[in-house]
A and B are shown apart, each in its own frame.
Chain A
Amino acid sequence: MKHFSFYGRKRTLTLSTGFHILVATSIIGCGKAVDHPQSTSKDFKVALVTTGSVSDQGWNAGAYRGLLRIRDSLGAHISNVQTQTPAEIDENFRQYGSQGYNLVFGHGFEYQDPAIRVAPSFPKTAFVITSGANTAPNVASVQFAFSDGAYLAGIVAGAVSHSGTIGTIGGTQLPPVVSAFRAFQAGARSVNPNVKVLSAYVGNWDDPSAAKEQALAQIARGADVIFQNADAAGLGVFQAARQSTGVRVIGSNSDQNAVAPEVTLGSVVIDLPRAMLMIARDVKDGTFTGHTYHLGDVEGVVLWRGNPTLSTEISPETQAKLASAKKALDAGQLKIPE
């Protein structure tokens, strides 16, 4: 989930961003959207606003892939902007609203309140917040049951750990991150009631060097499986594991199994493209209403995806436990602590 870096100067970015725009936005200090030249249709316009870089191989990268899929599947005209400071969110939304965009995704918890404020001025635009619960006539929220996947990841971590100590490393303490870590802990306790869970936060989402130090500190305390949810900074956790012996990592949000296949047990994946396309279809078909979408394991949006390279490290018994927990989740029989 995401996040502003603590001194947050970030860049608007699309593939067509010119250097002059970059300079202009640096000095003016506000995000300026650049339309994608590949767009094919002017009728259906979809925008994505993120707080972090879409090259983070995680939360934001997944949303960008979702935007591209909407373009490819629905022929939408797409645009993407990166918010630099929280104060700019309203302005980002207004820009897209006034340009007549049909659908604007605010990708993260931070976008909830600005959407509620701005939405009444642009009744023809659907605002969708991808992590939240606020709704209005033209504002929908998505609640990803990320905890479903985090619980399953916890089962794997609890079973694979030899030391009986596992760790979680987050960017900042956002509510969705905290509840994911709680679910992870519950999953681990379900297979090893005595497992010790260490927890640390980097304090931002883009300092991999600091995240690596957090991971090394946990490893020095005996942690041998670490669940990272720190976006781009989280890459440092993989690097720490690669330089230590017998340490395994579980990735978040996107399928991160390819980032460091030799140390990654699996990833808790949010299939953002699938979810975003689903919502975009609703908007295009005119069936969109301002409500909360609950998307999780049973909808095929949140998944545990094991890394085939290390599949032998997860025993058949653990695989069986995973399968039965998944079944219980889908049937609504398993309640995960919030």
Chain B
Amino acid sequence: MEAFLEGVVRTATPLALAALGETVTERSGIINIGLEGSIIAGALGSVVGAAHGGVWAGFVFGAVCGLAVAAIFALFAVVLRADQIITGTAVTLLALGGTGTLYRLIYGSAGAALNTPTLNPAAIPFLSKIPVVGLALFAQPSITYVLYALIPVVSWWMYRTHAGLALRSVGENPAAAIAAGVRGKRVQFTAVLFGGALGGVSGATLVLAQAGTFVEGMSAGRGFIAIAIVVLGRWNPLGTVLAALIFGAASALQFYFQAIGTNLPYQLFLAFPYVLTLIALAATHGRVSAPAALGRQDLELE
């Protein structure tokens, strides 16, 4: 049971980081399909950063790489008002290919294998002794605790500050926001960069807290799953993290079912998290309201 719960939190952590960033991006009215690109760029960046300055330098450089990829997206989608879906898809493809090429340029076709320093789980005294959930929640690599800290900070910022209000108003009613003096494009640009940086941290987590290696394409669709998680979490920071945990639980259940050995086809288990996401999305349909201006490219924002 405890091993299962630990797996839930481990699987959810990178998803929650990426989805938290995308929540902020989408609240500004921009849907960044290029999130997958930020994640894979963050994964490669973290290997390079960690090789030169240790694990935390890896996270920082991962965030910078995720942000850089998001900046390309923002240039086209926010500044030039290109179609967000097409731009995001192009950015994802560019990043998946670009990271593979750079990886081989840097490390040769033999790759870097498992030589990247990694974060070991760090148990928090007392809290990790809580029955059942203690180890799962409080004996994780410290990047998970960074995520815990980000949830209230982002919530407070989004709902209790002027900047947060500006963000939400641009996503809901850009004309009114601009009339009130909000600089729409700047808000959207910053929101996209924030989402990209967290996407980069998510990719760095895959490498530095989990796999211990970079593998081409290792983001494995997590950027797209994170976008679904944002919907499931109703564009709300806490909701997003809870939705990530649900997805993490579905994945961990899948690992568990395969390990106990059943005669059912393994593909059923692999599909399980996705089926659950679909059901949850369908069940919350109608009660969910997306930011009103989400995905609109025809806005005059300045």
Contact A198 B93 (CB under 8 A): no
Query: CB within 8 A of A208: which of B4, B90, B213, B255?
Result: B213
Contact A10 B221 (CB under 8 A): no
List A residues 1-32 near B (Cβ within 8 Å). Answer: 5-7, 9-11, 13, 15, 17, 19, 22-23, 25-27, 29
At the interface, yes or no: B277 with Cβ under 8 Å from chain A?
Answer: no
Contact A213 B109 (CB under 8 A): no
In the complex with contacts A11-B101, A22-B101, A213-B252, A201-B258 CB distance below 8 A: yes
List A residues 307-323 near B (Cβ within 8 Å). Answer: none
Chain A nearest CB from B89 CB (Å) reads 10
Chain A nearest CB from B97 CB (Å) reads 4
Contact A19 B101 (CB under 8 A): yes
CB-based nearest A residue for B96: A9
Contact A213 B266 (CB under 8 A): no
Contact A200 B258 (CB under 8 A): yes
Alpha-carbon distance A223/B113, docked complex (angstroms): 24
- In the assembled complex, which residues on chain B have CB atoms less than 8 Å from the CB atom of A22? 94, 97-98, 101
Instruction: Count how many chain B residues have C-beta atoms less than 8 Å from C-beta atoms of the other chain.
Output: 50
CB-based nearest B residue for A82: B100
At the interface, yes or no: A238 with Cβ under 8 Å from chain B?
Answer: yes
Instruction: Count how many chain A residues have C-beta atoms less than 8 Å from C-beta atoms of the other chain.
Output: 55
CB-based nearest B residue for A65: B109
Alpha-carbon distance A23/B101, docked complex (angstroms): 11
Query: CB within 8 A of A216: which of B3, B94, B96, B101?
Result: B3
Chain B nearest CB from A220 CB (Å) reads 4
Query: CB within 8 A of B11: which of A56, A213, A238?
Result: A213
Alpha-carbon distance A44/B259, docked complex (angstroms): 49
List A residues 161-220 near B (Cβ within 8 Å). Answer: 167, 173, 198-201, 203-204, 206-210, 212-214, 216-218, 220
At the interface, yes or no: A281 with Cβ under 8 Å from chain B?
Answer: no
- In the assembled complex, which residues on chain B have CB atoms less than 8 Å from the CB atom of A141? none
- In the assembled complex, which residues on chain A have CB atoms less than 8 Å from the CB atom of B211? 208-209, 212, 235-236, 239
Chain A nearest CB from B251 CB (Å) reads 7
Alpha-carbon distance A259/B111, docked complex (angstroms): 11
In the complex with contacts A61-B109, A217-B258, A235-B113, A26-B97 CB distance below 8 A: yes
- In the assembled complex, which residues on chain B have CB atoms less than 8 Å from the CB atom of A216? 3, 7, 255
Contact B259 A214 (CB under 8 A): yes
At the interface, yes or no: B206 with Cβ under 8 Å from chain A?
Answer: yes
Alpha-carbon distance A301/B103, docked complex (angstroms): 30
Alpha-carbon distance A210/B93, docked complex (angstroms): 22
At the interface, yes or no: A247 with Cβ under 8 Å from chain B?
Answer: no
Query: CB within 8 A of B255: which of A10, A56, A173, A213?
Result: A213
Contact B111 A56 (CB under 8 A): yes
Contact A53 B266 (CB under 8 A): no
Which secondary structure characterizes the binding site on chain B?
helix
CB-based nearest B residue for A9: B96
Contact A55 B216 (CB under 8 A): yes
- In the assembled complex, which residues on chain A have CB atoms less than 8 Å from the CB atom of B218? 206-209, 232
At the interface, yes or no: A233 with Cβ under 8 Å from chain B?
Answer: yes
- In the assembled complex, which residues on chain B have CB atoms less than 8 Å from the CB atom of A227? none
Query: CB within 8 A of B101: which of A6, A13, A64?
Result: A13
At the interface, yes or no: B75 with Cβ under 8 Å from chain A?
Answer: no
CB-based nearest B residue for A202: B270
Alpha-carbon distance A203/B270, docked complex (angstroms): 7
- In the assembled complex, which residues on chain A have CB atoms less than 8 Å from the CB atom of B111? 55-57, 61
- In the assembled complex, which residues on chain B have CB atoms less than 8 Å from the CB atom of A235? 113-114, 211-213, 215
Alpha-carbon distance A201/B113, docked complex (angstroms): 21
CB-based nearest A residue for B100: A11
- In the assembled complex, which residues on chain B have CB atoms less than 8 Å from the CB atom of A5? 217, 220
At the interface, yes or no: B267 with Cβ under 8 Å from chain A?
Answer: yes
At the interface, yes or no: B297 with Cβ under 8 Å from chain A?
Answer: no
- In the assembled complex, which residues on chain A have CB atoms less than 8 Å from the CB atom of B27? none
Contact B114 A239 (CB under 8 A): yes
Contact A206 B114 (CB under 8 A): no
Alpha-carbon distance A218/B3, docked complex (angstroms): 10
Instruction: Show 22 residue pairs from A and B whose CB-CB distance is below 8 angstroms, ordered by the A residue.
Output: A6-B220, A9-B92, A9-B217, A10-B96, A11-B96, A22-B94, A25-B97, A57-B110, A200-B259, A201-B258, A206-B218, A208-B211, A208-B212, A212-B211, A213-B7, A214-B258, A217-B252, A217-B255, A218-B259, A221-B260, A235-B113, A235-B211
Measuring CB to CB, which residues of chain B are less than 8 angstroms from any residue of chain A?
A: 3-4, 7, 10-11, 14, 90, 92-94, 96-98, 100-101, 103-105, 107-111, 113-114, 118, 120, 206, 210-213, 215-218, 220-221, 224, 251-252, 255-256, 258-261, 266-267, 270
Measuring CB to CB, which residues of chain A are less than 8 angstroms from any residue of chain B?
A: 5-7, 9-11, 13, 15, 17, 19, 22-23, 25-27, 29, 53-57, 61, 64, 167, 173, 198-201, 203-204, 206-210, 212-214, 216-218, 220-221, 223, 232-233, 235-236, 238-239, 242-243, 259-260
Across the A-B interface, give the 8 residue pairs with the lowest CB-CB distance, nearest first. A220-B3, A208-B211, A217-B259, A200-B258, A217-B255, A207-B220, A55-B111, A26-B93
